[in-house]
Copies of this chain bind each other. A is one copy, B any other.
C-alpha cells in the first residue's frame, strides 16, 4: 500500500514541473507559440500540448483512467513519433497548427492536470497495487519527458526568434554575473576497468542501462570546456579554410552553407563579434563557454589543437571523479557563462556514436519507442547545459544529436591520448 504522503510528494513534483514549462513560455504570445522556423524545431504550442498528450495517452488512457480521448484528432497532431499508437502529423507541418488555439491547448493541459491530481489524491488502495506501480512508472517517465521538452522549448524559442526578421528575444536583457575564469588543466584518468551506466538509485532513461564494464586507456581530459576566445583563435588561424582539419562530411557542410563561425554568431561592422541569445544580441565574451557548434566543428577544433573529443565512457569516468553539483537553467540568464571547471554549462560532444550498451533493452510497450530506435548516425553529448533542468544533469546521462546539429547548446571539452 502506498502512503498518501508519497502520493502527495509525486503530486507536488508533477505540478511543479508543469508550472515550470508554463513559466518558460510565459513571455510568448499566441503567435510566438505557433512559429516553426525549420524542421528541427517545434512550435512552443506543440511542446505544451505534446507533453500533455504523453500523460493522457500513456498514463490516463493506457490505464483506463479516462474513457475517451480529449479530442479525436490529438492522437494525430500531438504524437511525436510513437508509431505503435497510430498515424502522425508529419513533423515539418507542426507550424501549420493555427488550431487548436493556444487557449485550447491550455484547457487541454488543465484537463490532463485535473485527472492526474484526481489520481494522486485517490486513496491509494482504491486501485490495484500493480496498477500503481505501472502508473507511477509512467508518471515518472512523463515528468522526465516534460523536463526534456523544457530544454527543447528554450532551444527552439531561441531558433524561432532568431529566424525572424525582427529578432525579438523572448526574455529581457540579462544581467551577466561576471564569473571568474579558470585556467585549463589536464586531468588524467586511471587506466584500467571502470563501471559505466546508471546504477540502482534514482530515475534514468533506458539508454543509460545496463550498468557494465569498460576498459579505459591512458588519457587526459581538460578541466573545463573550450571558451569563445579559444575558438576565435582557431577561426583567426584559418580553421574554416583548412580542409585537412575536417571530417569529409563536415567540410561539405561548412562549404555548402558557407559557415565561418558558430551558429548565432555575427561580426559587427566594427569587426567585433556578437551572439544572439534568448535575451537579445550580446557582445561576445572570450572567457565565456563556447556554444552552438556542430560535432564537425568540435572535432575540427580538437584536431587543430592536437587533441580529440573524449569518448562518452572517458567523459563519464572523468565526471564521476569530480566534485560536481547540478546547475541547470535559470530564466534570468539562459546562456553558458564563464567556465566553472565542472560540467553543466553546455552539452559536450563526445566522439561516441549513440549505440546500445551491451545487453540494452528498451522499455516495454510504446514508451519504449523513446531511445533505441534513434541509435544510428547520432553522437552522444554529455553533461547538460544552461537550458537543462538541474536534475537532468548527471554523469550517466546520454543526450544525442546528429553531427550537423548546431541549434542545441552544444560545446566541447578536449581530450588527449597519453602515448
Q: Chain A: residues with CB nearer than 8 A to chain B?
A: 29-32, 34-35, 37, 73, 76-77, 81, 83-84, 89, 93, 95-102, 160, 163-166, 168, 193, 212-215, 217, 219, 243-244, 246-251, 295-296, 299, 308, 351-353, 355-356, 358-359, 369, 373-377, 379, 403, 417, 419
Contact = CB atoms under 8 A, between A and B. Distances in A.
Given A76-B165, A248-B81, A377-B377, A98 B35 contact: yes
A89 B164 CA distance: 10
B373 A101 contact: no
B32 A98 contact: yes
- Interface pairs A-B: 10 shortest CB-CB: A353-B353, A215-B215, A31-B98, A359-B417, A83-B243, A248-B373, A99-B166, A35-B98, A32-B98, A30-B30
Nearest to A296: B376
A32 B100 CA distance: 10
Contact of A96 (B163, B246, B377, B417): B163
Contacts of A295: 376
Contact of A247 (B98, B168, B376): B376
A249 to B, nearest CB: 6
A29 B84 CA distance: 34
Q: Which of A89, A377, A403 has the largest count of B CB atoms less than 10 A from its CB?
A: A377
A165 B73 contact: yes
A36 B296 CA distance: 30
A336 to B, nearest CB: 25
A84 B369 contact: no
Contacts of A35: 34, 95-96, 98
B89 A247 contact: no
A41 B340 CA distance: 50
A249 B378 CA distance: 11
Contacts of A375: 247
B244 A84 contact: yes
Q: Which of A96, A97, A101 has the largest count of B CB atoms less than 10 A from its CB?
A: A96
A247 B374 contact: yes
A227 to B, nearest CB: 25
Contacts of A215: 193, 213-215
Given A30-B30, A214-B215, A98 B164 contact: yes
21 contacts: A30-B30, A31-B34, A32-B98, A34-B34, A73-B166, A76-B165, A77-B165, A83-B243, A96-B163, A97-B165, A99-B166, A99-B168, A193-B215, A212-B217, A219-B358, A246-B373, A247-B373, A247-B375, A352-B355, A359-B417, A377-B377
A99 B166 CA distance: 7
A81 B93 CA distance: 26
Given A30-B31, A353-B353, A376-B379, 8 more contacts: A32-B99, A73-B166, A76-B165, A97-B165, A99-B164, A246-B373, A353-B355, A376-B403
A403 to B, nearest CB: 6
Q: Which of A30, A73, A193 has the largest count of B CB atoms less than 10 A from its CB?
A: A30
A96 B353 contact: no
